[in-house]
């Protein structure tokens, strides 16, 4: 029996939209692997989010599939460009075994296409609502015989792995730390692709395992729903001026946070760096540099409905900020030139408050200037993940960020103990 005309028309429309989306992603450079391209052309993406329109399903944006009572996103299907990027980072091929932490079904279907015909895909989630949906949608799309859905905490690993472990692990929820189970269940030379939170900013990082350690130079800013489960570390937020200003600390509230209300009563110190960037050019690496070189790093936001103008309100992402000695500094930018074509040039600066405002502004300015002169065109830092507590010696990079289960060692290019501005600041 043929499908009803209405269903057939919808299927044909979905097919046209799917191929148009893939054509766009190929043109924009998000897909340059024919195997990944074929997967995106085969998987009926809309079947994994039936509550939204075809237009939403085939737009290059994230689709939220579950929210809590406070309207916080708990589960989502990631934007296609980000899925394609992470699939490429996983480096998979036919016959490989892959674990997905954080389910939904759509990404698992892409993985099943990539590792076919004899590969093995295991997708897990801690939320039974999510695994029930994934199981139903995978079966509806014809992938139930190629994907195993598991209900459980993916941080603990998954049962039933073949000998040797997984060739890749893709984490599709924001992770505050690297789970030891992920390293243990990964084969030597295998890939872990994870949206890792580093001082409040989330980076999709593609690691490769060598001799029990994870290493990467691949960083891309992204946004995912937060990981759930007992023991997942949450950010600490300090609200000032009745909620007008929000300071967010990833590794807990430091003692220096006391007195920030009083700091905002002091005159604002302003310092501009002379470091400029063209409008529209990504400066994500600057945020990573500041987060990994400044003690007391945090993030600053301003509530748009309570904004009195005291603090220059950042647009989009929270501003990079620094708290020390009951004082506060934060990064901002200003448009210093617009040419006849409308192209703009922006300069980085620092605003600061408190009794140590000038010292903090100088510390942040020093790092911005160093990045602008030495690092803006260089490769990303080498990030090595060591188990915590670390046994033996760790090479002396610019920064080691200690998390509960891991130590993140950042080794930036063109830096050393002799020329690092961090060392000069300490000496001065």
Rounded CA gap, 229 and 396, in Å? 34
pLDDT in tens, 34-53: 999 999 999 999 999 999 99
Give the 3-state DSSP-derived string for 94-159, with helices as H, strands as E and coil as C. Answer: CCCEEEEECCCCHHHHHHHHHHCCCCEEEEEECCHHHHHHHHHHHHHCCCCCCEEEEECCHHHCCC
Binned at pLDDT 50, 70 and 90, residue 3 comes out as: low
Query: CA-CA distance, 37 to 253, in Å (whole number)?
Result: 45
Q: What is the model's pTM?
A: 0.86
3-state secondary structure of 182: helix
> What Cα–Cα distance (Å) separates residue 66 from each residue in 11, 62, 70, 127, 363?
25, 12, 11, 11, 42
**Is 384 a residue whose pLDDT tops 50?**
yes
Span 131-153, pLDDT tens digits: 999 999 999 999 999 999 999 99
pLDDT of residue 423: 40
Active site residue 78: yes
Q: What pLDDT was estimated at residue 422?
A: 45
CATH H superfamily, domain 5-221? Vaccinia Virus protein VP39 (3.40.50.150)
State pLDDT tens for residues 90-123. 999 999 999 999 999 999 999 999 999 999 999 9
Residue 427 has pLDDT above 50, yes or no: no
Average pLDDT over residues 401-415: 83
**Domain chopping of the chain, boundaries:** 5-221, 236-378+413-427
Average pLDDT over residues 285-310: 91
Residue in the structure block whose two tokens are 């960037």:
277
In the set 59, 75, 78, 405, the catalytic residue is 78
């Amino acid at each position: 029996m043929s499908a009803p005309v209405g269903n057939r028309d919808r299927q044909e429309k979905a097919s046209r939209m799917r191929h148009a989306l893939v054509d766009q992603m190929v043109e924009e450079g998000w897909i340059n692997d024919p195997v990944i391209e074929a997967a995106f052309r085969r998987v009926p993406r809309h079947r994994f989010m039936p509550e939204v329109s075809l237009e939403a399903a085939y737009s290059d944006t994230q689709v939220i599939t579950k929210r809590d009572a406070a309207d916080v996103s708990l589960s989502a299907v990631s934007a296609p460009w980000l899925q394609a990027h992470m699939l490429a980072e996983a480096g998979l091929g036919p016959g490989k075994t892959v674990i997905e932490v954080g389910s939904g079904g759509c990404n698992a279907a892409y993985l099943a296409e990539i590792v076919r015909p004899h590969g093995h895909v295991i997708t897990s989630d801690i939320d039974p609502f999510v695994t029930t949906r994934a199981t139903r949608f995978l079966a509806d799309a014809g992938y139930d015989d190629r994907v195993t859905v598991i209900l459980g905490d993916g941080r603990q690993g998954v049962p039933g792995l073949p000998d040797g472990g997984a060739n890749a692990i893709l984490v599709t929820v924001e992770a505050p730390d690297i789970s030891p189970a992920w390293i243990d269940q990964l084969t030597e030379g295998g890939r872990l692709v994870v949206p890792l939170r580093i001082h409040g900013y989330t980076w999709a990082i593609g690691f490769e395992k060598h001799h029990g350690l994870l290493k990467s130079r691949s960083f891309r800013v992204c946004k995912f729903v937060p990981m759930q489960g007992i023991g997942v570390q949450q950010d600490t937020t300090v609200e000032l001026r009745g909620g007008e200003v929000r300071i967010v600390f990833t590794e807990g509230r430091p003692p220096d946070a006391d007195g920030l209300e009083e700091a905002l009563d002091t005159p604002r110190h302003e310092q501009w760096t002379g470091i400029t960037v063209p409008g529209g050019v990504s400066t994500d690496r600057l945020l990573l540099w500041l987060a990994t070189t400044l003690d007391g790093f945090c993030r600053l936001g301003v509530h748009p409905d309570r904004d009195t103008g005291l603090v220059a309100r950042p647009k989009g992402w929270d501003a990079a900020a620094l708290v020390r000695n009951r004082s506060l500094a934060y990064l901002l930018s200003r448009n210093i030139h617009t040419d006849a074509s409308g192209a703009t040039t922006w300069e980085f600066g620092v605003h600061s408050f408190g009794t140590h405002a000038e010292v903090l502004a100088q510390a942040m300015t020093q790092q911005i200037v160093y990045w602008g002169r030495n690092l803006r065109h260089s490769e990303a830092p080498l990030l090595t993940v060591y188990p915590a507590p670390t046994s033996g010696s760790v090479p002396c990079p610019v920064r080691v960020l200690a998390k509960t289960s891991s130590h993140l060692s950042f080794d930036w290019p063109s830096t050393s103990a002799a020329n690092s501005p961090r060392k000069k600041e300490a000496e001065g």
